[in-house]
Amino acid sequence: QKEVEQNSGPLSVPEGAIASLNCTYSDRGSQSFFWYRQYSGKSPELIMSIYSNGDKEDGRFTAQLNKASQYVSLLIRDSQPSDSATYLCAVNGGGYNKLIFGAGTRLAVHP
């Protein structure tokens, strides 16, 4: 069974701090990794994707991938209360480019 593991949280950070969200996966053959943000009562929204080892930056968001350790993370710099949401990690791991989702980490950014 291919798995994606995330700490459920809540992860509580003060406004302006760096939030660090982590994810591990079991399938060494996975090639694509995604972070989704889901506000309460809303559907998931794709915010970052990463395919190569190292860092990928997009505004305040940085995705980090380490395939040897089977580890992917999302850093949110200068966290804002509007970043408070559940963050889902997803990894491609099935036929037909299916994604496997983690259960999500709830982030709370307090003023």
Partner 1 sequence: DVKVTQSSRYLVKRTGEKVFLECVQDMDHENMFWYRQDPGLGLRLIYFSYDVKMKEKGDIPEGYSVSREKKERFSLILESASTNQTSMYLCASGINRGNYGYTFGSGTRLTVV
- Positions touching partner 1 (CB under 8 A) are 31-32, 34, 36, 42-46, 49, 51, 88, 90, 92, 96-99, 101-104
Rank residues 14 and 52 by Cβ distance to partner 1 and give the closer one: 52
Contact assessment for residue 88 and residue 38, using Cβ atoms and an 8 Å cutoff: yes
CB of 53 to partner 1, least distance (A): 14
Let me know: does 9 contact 106? Beta carbons within 8 Å. yes
Minimum CB separation from partner 1 for residue 40, in Å? 10
